[in-house]
Every structure is written in structure tokens, then in C-alpha cells.
Structure 1
Amino acid sequence: MKNKVFHTRLIILLAVIATTIFVTGCNCKSCKKDDDKTYYNNEVDPLVFSTQELDKVFNPFFSTTGPDSNVVGMTQIGMLGNDKNGNITYGDSEGVVTKDLQIVTEGTEDKDQTTTYYFVLKNNIKFSNGSALTIKDVLFNLYVYLDPAYTGSSTIYSTDIVGLKEYRTQEADETEQDSFKLKFQVEAEARIQALVDATVEILEEHGDSKPDKDQFREYLIAYAAEFESISDNFKNVVKDYDKAIALFKEELETDYNNSIDTYEDITFSDKNGKVYKNLLTTDVEVFLYNEGYLEWNKEEAKLVSSLVNDPTTLKKWTKEQAINTIYADKIPNALEEVVLYWNTSIKLNDYLVNEAMEAYFQNDTNKEFPNISGIQFANRTSSVTVNNVTYPVPVYNADGSVKEGNEVLSIKIKDVDPKAIWNFAFSVAPMYYYSDAEHIAKFDYVSNFGVEYASQTFMNEVVNSPAKIGVPVGAGPYAASKSSGGLDNITAGDFYNLGIVYYERNPYYILGPAKIKKLRLQVVSSSQMLNSLYNGEIDFIEPNAKPETIDELDSKKEDGFGNKSIQTSGYGYIGINAGKVPDLAIRQVIMHSINTQECVNYYKTTATAIHRSMSMSSWAYPKGATPYYPYIGGAVPEDLSVVNPAYASYVRSLGKKAGDKLTSAEQETFIRNQVEGAGYTLNANGVYYKGNHILKYTFTIAGDETDHPAWQALFHASEILNNVGFQINVSPDSQALTKLASGDLTVWAAAWGSTIDPDMYQVYHKDSNATSVLNWGYKQILLNTGGKYDTEVALINRLSDLIDAGRKTNNQDERAAIYSQALDIVMQLAIELPTYQRNDLFAYNTNKIDVNSLTPNADLSPYKGLTSDLHLVSLVEEK
């Protein structure tokens, strides 16, 4: 399925994963007539779609993965829609909130220019509980997305709305606005440094006695009492220590969970290249291996451990024993390392920044800027004219719904911004559900909009509470239900149960109730997808668009199975987290070792090689782009001015010409030169290391199978790298979706579902709060501990400036030139290697689905799919 509006750039992992669940029989709900044709009942029989593995964050404000956002999208209605060409749509015939739209640009460019967007709201939209959607709900959504404490993936805050910076910072001075969050960052870093200083001094004095975490805490209390009178930085060290070790314990728990059921995929090779399999047989061993307490010695071809003399005894260890052993080994003796370099450092920093910000605003109860001046209920007190139609002040019913007239929302931005209109296409979720009674009662259009200002507590405990994560509510064509049916009192366990998501039509949907009453999404593995379609378990699937799959489906047409291929709006890529692979040279070596043509070959004739991080369906994709990281085993490209300079310099030094190939020895020399030039040396186990960092990584394949476009490319890259001192394992992972959303993967294969506008802010800008920047390791880069990311920080600053520039003009040629430069910088960062552009393949049961109710062929495009008008889809019913 395709959402009507691409609000965010979604992470879509390439393999669908999980357990096959059978849907119960029809109990005579469908019936056969004398002509032996089976008919179905739209009121009784469910329509079942396949879905990828779900992360179960079904909240419109905080969902991040593609599958989760699809689950949520069924229940939501957007401010705007889009047509097959990617143009904005609105009006009475569209399933959107906006009845009419006018965009007015005034003033002088580069001086006092502003653009105002007038949205005339429909007055007859209802949420699935029957309550009216009004401008209060629209304003509530905007104030959630624009609150300084909001941490979801939407980047509406990147739009330069008049008064927004003043509101988010409570500062009038532009210099203060620009450095607003910096003061909280400085405070957080000072607190972490105070904890480090205290730790170093205490361990110097008491290290010989080997204090445990509790004894260390006692020393810390005494230390704080002695020094807090000298500096405020030390008054929080005990509290920060408690938070740090709690976060570290959580990190170890997460690391252990990430190790579960992966031991069969871990292999080793000795100095002669002989491969050893199945040496690890427990989750505990994998966990200890990943944490560096169990290692492979290439020279002696055996496992060694710093914990025990005989590593085989670790097979009997329990989860608790393993976690507690590492915890005790690191705390407090390696506390400095933990709070500066482990993932704990990022979470501790974020926690302290948010705590400082929340405390700052709580102490300043009288806000100088109580609202965003550029966002107005335009006809609240007087009439307003939009497209030559005058809209008077609305008249309301007792329940707050509009009785007469239409409410008009206006949003004024500075200058122009081609992405702004797409940012304003957000889904409108109900305030009654996502806020609470206390804040709703205070709603006054002036300083209260159903949101507690700058409160992380409000965001976590009200907007994103556990119940609201599990059950989405909105005004879309469908509403959350349960296996037995009904829309009342739905719990998270009802809505998603045993791999199936349950919906029923929203009886109040603005375009009329959906034709099919019951709809389901069912998690199914890629290997079972076609069989699930053929046996009637699933009605509509999205398999990989391999030629052999298309041929197989074509041969099934007479059996009642149709298929369509549509150019995708996204692309495949291989990502590298710079937080986990901190050296630029190492990331570059990994990219040179990957033959992306192998990803293209997986799809044979149905995919094309792509060389920049943007969909080729976009008008802004650089024409004639070539690989920045040529495959180390491939032909030397003709133009060495557009490739990684280190590679270009090396092949020139060898006298290579276009079309020549590097020998195996030359490939190895290049890799070793890069690695050793970055300061790495071989350890006793034959693996490169620098300080505490070892070149031991997992390359993750999404799903539980190796039938994946990137498997061969990553596996062959691992062979190249392992031969020269890396320790790489390539592993399928059924939990990859969850890990990717939290930034827990090191190297992985995935695909983007791109936005209609080519704006790059959400995924690559330094100020983006979207989860995609977690994937790249932006937080570690921008913290820049010890200055190790100086090069990357400079690149990201330049990249962010270009992204900003791309939003200051509506001229497509100018924007395309800007994005071409920006995409080159993305390549220089070595965080994302584009691999292929392919088609989306849809297959469906034509015996059950009325194909005439699907989107007509003439309207299909990367932006409009077969079921974009889901409320019109029907089953095959007897006429």
C-alpha cells in the first residue's frame, strides 16, 4: 500500500519477516453459485494484506518505520493529499482536511518577503468515535510537532514559520535563538565531564582497593560534598552516576537481546582462510563475543576469553551471569569509557540536555512568547477571504463542532520554502485522545493548545503513553478493531494479536464508509509470501520484484492471481553508523569492498544501479552520476575526479588506466594502507585495533533469510575484509527493523521510501531529530568527543548549509544544482552507499478482490499505488 502523502522518509527493510499466521475460515461467509464462481461479502469477509515485521510503535507522532507508519496511516487523515504526478490535492472530493487552499507571497525577496498559506477546513469530518475534527485538533497537532520537547521524526519545525524560533526558545534575539540548545548541551557536557573528573580522581586514590559500584558511590558522595561549594558542576555527580549506570545496564540488556538467535550465523576464518562454523552455540557466547570478552585468534584458530581459561565453559553461563560480569567489570573501573564512548554516552547526554531544558522552562512560567505568531485561527474573530470567498466567524454547536461556516487556518513563513507545503500536509490526530483532560480544559487559542510546553514528561506520559503507542486513533478510512470485531475499548493486545493487525471501517469517514468493513495486516515472511497468496491466507502482497517472481505470477493469472509493477519512489542502500565505525577511512574501505552491482543483479532486469542518495524518480537526481566508491575488485573508472580521492591517488600511483583491474595483492595493499594510515595495528588475534576499538563488525541483513538483494554483496565484502585483518560476520536479523529505528546497527542493508519533494533535511541535516540521524551516528559525530570527528563535523555543517539553501528557492534548476553538491557530501561522509532503484511489485487474489475497484493503470505512479483509494476497494460480490 502507498500512503496518500509521503510525510516522512520512511525506513523500509528489504525482507519481510516473522511467523506465518493463519486467518480463520469463512464459516460460509463467502459462497459459490451454480457457475462455480466464489462470491464474497464486503460486510463479513476481511481483506488481508501482508506486512513486514512491526516495531509496534503505532503512534502518528512517533512511528518511525515504514510498516509501523502504514499501520497508523490506515487510521489517519491528512491536511492535504497528492495525485499521481506528486502534485498537492485538496477539496471536497479528496479524503483530506482541507477544503480550499490559497498561497500568498508578499514583500521583497531577501528583505521582508513572507508566504502565507490559508487552509479552509472542512466542517463535517469526524474521528472514528464520532466526534468532530476542528481547528482545535489541527492546532494541537501543530503545537505537538513544534514543541521544543518533541523528539519524533516529523521535521515541521525546520520550516521558518514566523514566530517559531521565538516560541521554541523564548528568546527575541536571533543570536540567542541560534545558540539556544547549545547552552543545554554545554551544561550536559559539563556535568558529564564533572563525573569523569570525579571518577578519575577517586580511582587514582582508591583504585587499588577495587571498589564496587556501591562503595564507589559512597566515595562519590564524599567527593561531591567537598567540591560542590567550589563549582556547581559537581552538585549533580551522584545523581548523574546513578543515571549513567542505569543506562549502561539497559545498554547491556539491549546488547544481549540483539544477540539472541544469531549464533548460527557467526563464522570464523584462520590465517589460511579456512572457515569455522558453529563454534558458538548459545546467546551468551554471542553476547560476550560482541562485547569483546570472547575473541577469535586467527593465528591459532581458536576462541579465547579474558574471563575463563576454557571458553567452552561459557556455554553454561546464564544471561544474568554474563550481563552482571561485564557490568561489574566496567563499573566503576571503566566508567569514564562508558560515559564517553559507549551508547550510554549518547543517552546520558540526551537525558541531561532534556532535563536542563525542561528545568529552564519550568523556572520561567511566564512565557514572553506564548504562541507562534505565524500560526493563526484566521477567522476566529473576524471574516477572512480565501480565493475570493469570504469566510465569516464560524458558528458552533454545543459539542464544539461547526454549525455554520468553515474554520480557516493561516500559516505565515519567512521568504519562500518549496518543502513547506509538504510539511503542512501532516495527519490530524485527535486531541481528545492524544492529550489529556487537564490540558484540553485549558485550550484558549492564545497560550494553551492542549500541550504542556517544553515538557518531556508530557510527551512521554501523555502523547506517547504506552496505550497510545499500541492503538492509533484518527479520522481515516479505517479504525483499530479486534479479531471479534467492534471499535469500542480496543487495547494494544486486541489491535495487534499473534502477528495480525485488525481494523474495521470508520463509519464516519469523510468520503463515505469504506466498501470493505474488515481489513487486516498480517506479518508473513518473504519465503512464505507467495504461498500465502496462493493458499488464500493473504489477499494482497508485495514480494521482491525479481523476474522469476514476475514470471511465476504471470503463469498464475488464469488461477486468479494478478500482479502489477510500479516504479518505486525510493531506492536501496547500505548504511554505516559512524558512531560505531568512527574512522572515515574505515568506512571508506568498507564501501570500496562492496560490489553494489551484485545487489542490482539480484533483480536482474527489474533494477538499475544508483549512485547518489536520492530516488531516480525525483527530478533532482543528478544526471550522469557515477560511483563515488568504485568496487575495489572492479574496473578502474574513466573519470577519477569524481571518486574517493584516496582511491584515485592509489590507482594513479599504480599507473592503472580506465578499465584496468587491481590484482588481489593490490586490493589488499590499498585496504591495509588505509587502515594502518588511520592508526590501526594488528593485535595478537590477527585483527586490527586502535585503543579500545577493534575492526569487528556485524553486517546485518534484514529478515531471517539470506534471500536478499544485498546478501551476496555483503558476504563477498566480508571475505575481502576478513582476509586483511577485519573480523566481519554477515547475519540475517528478524529484529533489524527495531534495531535500525534505535540506531543499534553497525552496517546494514535497507531501502528508503522517499518523499515527493527532494528536500534532504529530515535525513541529513544536523538539526534533524529524526531517527535516521541515529542510523548515521550524527549524535556521536556532533558531540565530537576528543575531536575525532572534526572532518565529519565540517562536512555536516557544509551539507546542512546546502540543505537550507535548497529550501530558499522555488527554481527547480537551482535546487537540483544545490542537491547535487549536497549528495556529493553525503558520499564523502561514507555513511550511505546507494545500491539500486527497482520497481515495486504487487500481487493479489483476483478471485477475491474486484480488480475494477483498484487504481486504474493510467493513474499508477511512484506516488499513487493500487490501493491509494482504499475506501473504494471492494471484494468480488454477486451483482
Structure 2
Amino acid sequence: MKKFAKKFVVLSLATGLAATSLVACSNGNDSQTTPEGQNQSTENKTDDKKEETSKSKYTTAVVASLEMNGVFSPFFATTGYDMGVAEMVVAPLIKADRNAQPQSELAEFAIEEVKGDDGVVTETVYTFTLKDGVTFSDGKPVTADDIIFTYKVLADPSYDGPSTFVTLPVVGLEEYAKGDATEISGIEKVDDKTVKVTLKGIDPAAIWKLGGVAVAPQHYYGVDDSGKEYAKGDLTVVKARNAKPMGAGAYTFGSFENNVVTLNANESYFKGAPATPTIKYQVTAESNKLEGLKLGEFDISDPSASVEMVKNVEDAGLEYRLVDNLGYGYIGMNAERITDVNVRKGLMHLMNRRPAVESYYGELATVIERPMSQVSWAYPEGATEYYGFDPAKALEYFTAAGYTQVDKNGKPSLEKDGKQLRIEVGIPGGGTMDHPTAPVLTQMKTEMEKIGAVLEIADTDGTVFFDRLNQSDWDMWVAAWGATVDPDMYQVYHSEGPSNHYKVKNADLDQLIVDARLTNDIEERKECYSKALDIIMDEAVEMPVYQRKNMYVFNQEIVDMDSLPKDMTPYYTYFAEVESFRLK
């Protein structure tokens, strides 16, 4: 499942709100999107970097971050860095273990399949029972009512966030979301600690969409400061809390000032008060992620992994970890702006990916051939190249689309109906083209000029880039997707998907996506996804570019490296056991 995040990180595994995150960042914890390779501009330092106490030499950990939008809501955060903040403050019912299997967090869970006389599963029942003593950071208990409130917000008719919760086949969900029902009949409060959810048939992603949801306190998100209460059909009360999250997570939200987010240890956290009293996220430029660490501005950073970066980190005497990224970089096209599939296929044949990936990442990334992270179990084995770099073939497709080369002052101009082929592509390179896919675009521009077409490269910062992407204002764009545990493709590629920026509408693709949701059989789902990925490639709306590694760098003079999780995976990184994270 993809999450739409800036690290258009979707949301992430902890929140379980979205299928995929769109990422625009160069390194990134791609769980929902920051601009890959983007050069951000702010480099503010924290004023109270470290504090000395009698018990510990350091009490504040500073983490480097790229740009944040300040929407730290478990319901409405859409960028990876915003989500990362929210996930420290809120907590889900379940979370993923190292191997992407569900494990209990706030609640224990049970799954029961109900079969008819013919042996076919007619219903699936999920039961979540809150653990004893689980409270929100204000001391009030987490209850079944809070879980149901959270579900209702995600199912609200006016909900416009990244969650695909409403696509679940929960009994009565459609009547609630699209009708006058005041309750969701398939969601039942068994007692103050237990919620039972009944689904029609099977949905393999349901465990994450139900259990991965971050439980929001109804007494906080359901009432604003003026006393106005949330009512179905109007989410203004819930959105009033976007800038200041509250929940049952390991930390409480302090402030977001001068490009610094301050989080404080939640003394009532159900796993015990975190060992590190304060964590700060400091916004900086991608280009400053290592230098800032060397200068002591940060204690933890995630510079883009490359052979050169590994050498620079080792030369600086810093500790690092390399972990496969649960996501991939890509180039997307809007089928409603570039309507002729032959034009899109022609553009695909002008994308020379391998030299760009090798020059930027070296051996720390590989070219991929289908639009899905290779980390996922659903990535098709033996996938071969669909569109090779071939300018002559590109011209053939442009000709098939009705374009011809005409002479204009001794130079060719590729035109149709008197209009020259002109494509605008957005790239979040911060104005310096600092992006792994930038060389692909510069070569495309040269090749298009040779045949008489124009490629306009708009290199912007992340905010402008995503604003225009959300408005469907790019013909073509460069970003990255971050994926969740289940590779459900509905959010991004289904005709009705909320993050279908490609505007692809294909009935066969829609059916395959739906079919993959109707079985728990992994092999059947693999076959569906393999066919679906081929259709996406044939529609020529997305060119997968690279699969990379994430790099996490630590100042081991500050961070107690023994407190980090052992054997990190894409699903289980350095803050997976944040309550145990310590400074020296």
C-alpha cells in the first residue's frame, strides 16, 4: 500500500491511514513524501541544545529534518516529516514488527473468519481489546469510544485527508459515509475497552487500516477551544487541532517555533516514561545534514546515501546504519494533461535512468522496472525493462500521435495542428537541481530539443512542488513513493483513488486492484499485482527509476548506540523502540 507523503510519506505504518506516501525528499523516511534530493533552505539551531544534569550528561536529542508543513494531525498529515512528528505523539492499536507482521501496541487483537456452508468467507471479524492502564498524555484513559470516534472521523462524508479507511468493506460503512446513518453498524462497542469490527468478506489490508490507526482522544479532537463539538459532516473542529497533536504516544507535543519541533517525554506512557526527556526536530537543508551533524547542530541525521556520503561519514568518525528503503523514486505523468498515450510512451523512451542512478547513488541504489518498492513481497520477480532509452523509438511514438517535424529557421519543430510539443516537468530540487533524477530530465531536455520539442524543467522547493501536484498542475513530475506493509494499490492507481495523481482510468486495472483485495492468498495477490503493474507501465503514466537505501547517521559521543534497535529493517528503524532510546 502506498502512502502519499512529502516524504508525501501517506501515511505510515504507525498511523495506518494511507496506502502510500509520496516522497519528494532525497533520503527520507519515505513513509508518506519529502522532495528526493531537495535542497531546503533553513538551518536554524536550537537554543538549548544540551542540558547537563546530575544523572545524565545530555537530555535533549536533536534530529535533522527537512521542511515541515506544520500539520501534525493523525488524520490530516500528508508529509513524511509531519507524520513522523505525529507518530511520536499518537499511538496505534497495533504496529509492525521487524518482518512487517502485526504486533500488539495499545491493544491485543484477534481475527475470526466466518464461513458459509460452501466454505466461502462471508465475514471477517476483528476484535481489539485495549491493554490495562493505557492512557492519553493528559492522564485520561483510552477507551473504546476513542477508537470508534477515530473511525468515524476517517469515515466522515466531508473527510478530505489521505486515509483510505472508507474503502474498507465494513458492514454499514457505506451507509454512514454516503447516507444518513448516525452509526456504523459493523463497528460495535463491546465494553469500555473492546471494539469489534465486522467486514463483509475479506480485505487483506484491513488489519493495518483498522489496527494501524492512531487512536485520537475524543475529548480533545472532538471539541475545540470554544466548546464546539464535532458533528458528522463538518470536520472543522477536528482540524482545529492540526497544529498541536495529542495522544497516547511516547512524547507530548511542545511547540513548533523557528523551524524547530520540540517534543517532551510522556510521563504516563504505557511502556514507561521515555529515557530521553526531550527530542527536537530541527529543519535544515539537505546539503547541511552531514555538516550540521559534524558541527554539533544535530545528534541524528539522514543524509542521502551514496558512496561519497558513506566515505564522508566514515572520515568524520561518525556511526551510521544502512537500511533498505521501503519506497522508490519515479517520474510521473498526468494522463489528463498528456492525453495521448503515444506521447507518454515517447517520453518514456527519452528517460535514461541508469547513468543518473549510478552517478548519484553508486552501489547504494538500483534501477527498478516496475512501480513498486523491491522490498515489497509483491514486486514481480524477473521484471524486465519496459521502455529502454531510445530517442529514435520516441520519435516513432510522437509521429504515431500525429506530430511531424517542420522546418523553423533551419531547425526542426515537432508540431501537431500548428502547436509545438511542449511538456512542463516539476522537480523538487530546491532551485539547484539537487535530485537523483535530475540528470534524467536534463538529458530528456537535450534529446527533445534535437527533435524539435520542448521540455520545461521547473525546479522548485517542496512546498511549491506539492501545491502544484495536488492541483494537478504538472504535465510530468519527479518524486518518490513510500510504501506501507500491505501493497494495496487502490489509493494511487484506482480510478477513484484519492492519490491518483496520474489520472489513470483503466477498467482492467481497477478490477485487478479490487480482485487483489478479495483474497488473503499471497500467490493470488502477487499475480493480480504483477498484471496491474504491467497495465500501469503500458499506460505510460509512471516510470520507476530507483530503489535506494536509507542512511541514518549518529553522533556516538551523544547517542548511546546500544540503545538503538538491533537488526533494523525498513519496518523497524532507529525510533522503533523510542522509549528505550538513550543519550550518554
Judge same fold: TM > 0.5, yes or no: yes
CA contact (8 A) 2:76 2:161 kept: yes
- 434, 441, 458: which is aligned to 2:221? 434
CA contact (8 A) 1:478 1:505 kept: yes
- 491, 508, 522: which is aligned to 1:762? 491
CA contact (8 A) 1:614 1:621 kept: yes
- 71, 80, 86: which is aligned to 1:72? 86
Tell me the equivalent position of 1:591: 348
- 180, 192, 197: which is aligned to 1:411? 197
Alignment of 1:476-875 (within 5 A): 476-481=249-254, 495-557=255-317, 561-601=318-358, 602-633=360-391, 666=392, 669-670=395-396, 672-676=398-402, 686=413, 688=415, 695-734=422-461, 735=463, 736-769=465-498, 772-773=499-500, 775-776=501-502, 778=503, 793=505, 795=506, 797-857=507-567, 860-875=568-583
Instruction: In structure 1, give the amino acid aligned to 2:43.
Output: T
Instruction: In structure 2, give the amino acid aligned to 1:19.
Output: T
Structure 1 residues 413 and 572, CA, compared in 2 at 3 Å: closer, same or farther?
Answer: same
Structure 1 residues 122 and 738, CA, compared in 2 at 3 Å: closer, same or farther?
Answer: farther
The alpha-carbon deviation at position 815 of structure 1 amounts to 0.7
* Alpha-carbon distance between aligned partners in 1 of 2:207 and 2:271, rounded to the nearest angstrom: 23
* Alpha-carbon distance between aligned partners in 2 of 1:122 and 1:438, rounded to the nearest angstrom: 30
- More helix by percentage: 1
Structure 1 residues 761 and 541, CA, compared in 2 at 3 Å: closer, same or farther?
Answer: same
The superposition leaves residues 424-458 of structure 1 with CA deviations (integer Å, 9 ceiling, x where unpaired) of 121111222222279999xxxxxxxx7523x2xx1
* Alpha-carbon distance between aligned partners in 2 of 1:809 and 1:109, rounded to the nearest angstrom: 16
* Alpha-carbon distance between aligned partners in 1 of 2:62 and 2:154, rounded to the nearest angstrom: 33
The alpha-carbon deviation at position 373 of structure 1 amounts to 1.3
CA contact (8 A) 1:109 1:415 kept: no
2:77 corresponds to 1:63: yes
**TM-score normalised per structure 1:** 0.60
The alpha-carbon deviation at position 30 of structure 1 amounts to 7.2
* Alpha-carbon distance between aligned partners in 2 of 1:682 and 1:761, rounded to the nearest angstrom: 46
- 239, 244, 251: which is aligned to 1:471? 244
The alpha-carbon deviation at position 104 of structure 1 amounts to 3.8
Structure 1 residues 127 and 25, CA, compared in 2 at 3 Å: closer, same or farther?
Answer: closer
Structure 1 residues 27 and 816, CA, compared in 2 at 3 Å: closer, same or farther?
Answer: closer
Instruction: In structure 2, give the amino acid aligned to 1:827.
Output: M
**TM-score normalised per structure 2:** 0.88
* Alpha-carbon distance between aligned partners in 2 of 1:418 and 1:28, rounded to the nearest angstrom: 47
Structure 1 residues 412 and 672, CA, compared in 2 at 3 Å: closer, same or farther?
Answer: closer
* Alpha-carbon distance between aligned partners in 1 of 2:460 and 2:144, rounded to the nearest angstrom: 44
CA contact (8 A) 1:599 1:836 kept: no
- 15, 23, 33: which is aligned to 1:12? 23
* Alpha-carbon distance between aligned partners in 2 of 1:589 and 1:113, rounded to the nearest angstrom: 46
Alignment of 1:342-491 (within 5 A): 367=180, 369-379=181-191, 407-424=193-210, 425-436=212-223, 451-453=230-232, 455=233, 458-459=234-235, 461-465=236-240, 468-481=241-254
* Alpha-carbon distance between aligned partners in 1 of 2:428 and 2:397, rounded to the nearest angstrom: 24
Tell me the equivalent position of 2:57: 40
The count of residues paired between Structure 1 and Structure 2 equals 555
SS in 2 for 1:849: coil
Q: Percent identity?
A: 29
SS in 2 for 1:469: coil
The superposition leaves residues 273-294 of structure 1 with CA deviations (integer Å, 9 ceiling, x where unpaired) of xxxxxxxxxxxxxxxxxxxxxx
Instruction: In structure 1, give the amino acid aligned to 2:231.
Output: E
Instruction: In structure 1, give the amino acid aligned to 2:189.
Output: F
* Alpha-carbon distance between aligned partners in 2 of 1:832 and 1:799, rounded to the nearest angstrom: 14
The superposition leaves residues 145-169 of structure 1 with CA deviations (integer Å, 9 ceiling, x where unpaired) of 1122212111111111112223333
Tell me the equivalent position of 1:126: 135
Instruction: In structure 1, give the amino acid aligned to 2:199.
Output: I
CA contact (8 A) 2:349 2:394 kept: no
* Alpha-carbon distance between aligned partners in 2 of 1:26 and 1:142, rounded to the nearest angstrom: 39
- More strand by percentage: 2
Tell me the equivalent position of 1:24: 47
2:162 corresponds to 1:145: no
* Alpha-carbon distance between aligned partners in 2 of 1:516 and 1:62, rounded to the nearest angstrom: 28
The alpha-carbon deviation at position 667 of structure 1 amounts to 5.1
* Alpha-carbon distance between aligned partners in 1 of 2:79 and 2:184, rounded to the nearest angstrom: 30
SS in 2 for 1:520: strand
The alpha-carbon deviation at position 768 of structure 1 amounts to 2.3
The alpha-carbon deviation at position 72 of structure 1 amounts to 1.6
Instruction: In structure 2, give the amino acid aligned to 1:40.
Output: K
The superposition leaves residues 357-394 of structure 1 with CA deviations (integer Å, 9 ceiling, x where unpaired) of xxxxxxxxxx4x43221110124xxxxxxxxxxxxxx5
Radius of gyration: which is bigger?
1
Tell me the equivalent position of 1:245: none
* Alpha-carbon distance between aligned partners in 2 of 1:101 and 1:603, rounded to the nearest angstrom: 43
CA contact (8 A) 1:416 1:808 kept: yes
The alpha-carbon deviation at position 626 of structure 1 amounts to 1.2
- Where do 5+ consecutive residues of structure 2 fail to align? 1-6, 25-35
Tell me the equivalent position of 1:346: none
* Alpha-carbon distance between aligned partners in 2 of 1:512 and 1:163, rounded to the nearest angstrom: 38
CA contact (8 A) 1:702 1:749 kept: no
2:106 corresponds to 1:86: no
Structure 1 residues 698 and 4, CA, compared in 2 at 3 Å: closer, same or farther?
Answer: closer
CA contact (8 A) 1:600 1:608 kept: yes
Of 536-545 and 686-695, more deviation after overlay is shown by 686-695
The alpha-carbon deviation at position 413 of structure 1 amounts to 0.6
CA contact (8 A) 1:689 1:695 kept: no
The alpha-carbon deviation at position 681 of structure 1 amounts to 8.2
Instruction: In structure 1, give the amino acid aligned to 2:367.
Output: A
Please, what is the CA RMSD of the aligned residues?
2.8
The superposition leaves residues 767-806 of structure 1 with CA deviations (integer Å, 9 ceiling, x where unpaired) of 222xx22x22x2xxxxxxxxxxxxx53x2x2211111100
SS in 2 for 1:47: strand
Instruction: In structure 2, give the amino acid aligned to 1:141.
Output: T
* Alpha-carbon distance between aligned partners in 1 of 2:420 and 2:195, rounded to the nearest angstrom: 53
Instruction: In structure 2, give the amino acid aligned to 1:469.
Output: N
- Where do 5+ consecutive residues of structure 1 fail to align? 32-37, 91-95, 171-366, 380-393, 395-406, 442-449, 482-494, 634-665, 779-791
SS in 2 for 1:470: coil
CA contact (8 A) 1:73 1:476 kept: yes
Instruction: In structure 2, give the amino acid aligned to 1:409.
Output: V
SS in 1 for 2:153: helix
The alpha-carbon deviation at position 551 of structure 1 amounts to 1.8
* Alpha-carbon distance between aligned partners in 2 of 1:691 and 1:410, rounded to the nearest angstrom: 63
Instruction: In structure 1, give the amino acid aligned to 2:183.
Output: N
* Alpha-carbon distance between aligned partners in 1 of 2:475 and 2:116, rounded to the nearest angstrom: 49
CA contact (8 A) 2:224 2:238 kept: no
* Alpha-carbon distance between aligned partners in 2 of 1:19 and 1:98, rounded to the nearest angstrom: 40
CA contact (8 A) 1:118 1:408 kept: yes
Structure 1 residues 26 and 440, CA, compared in 2 at 3 Å: closer, same or farther?
Answer: closer
Structure 1 residues 626 and 421, CA, compared in 2 at 3 Å: closer, same or farther?
Answer: same
* Alpha-carbon distance between aligned partners in 2 of 1:810 and 1:147, rounded to the nearest angstrom: 28
CA contact (8 A) 2:346 2:394 kept: no
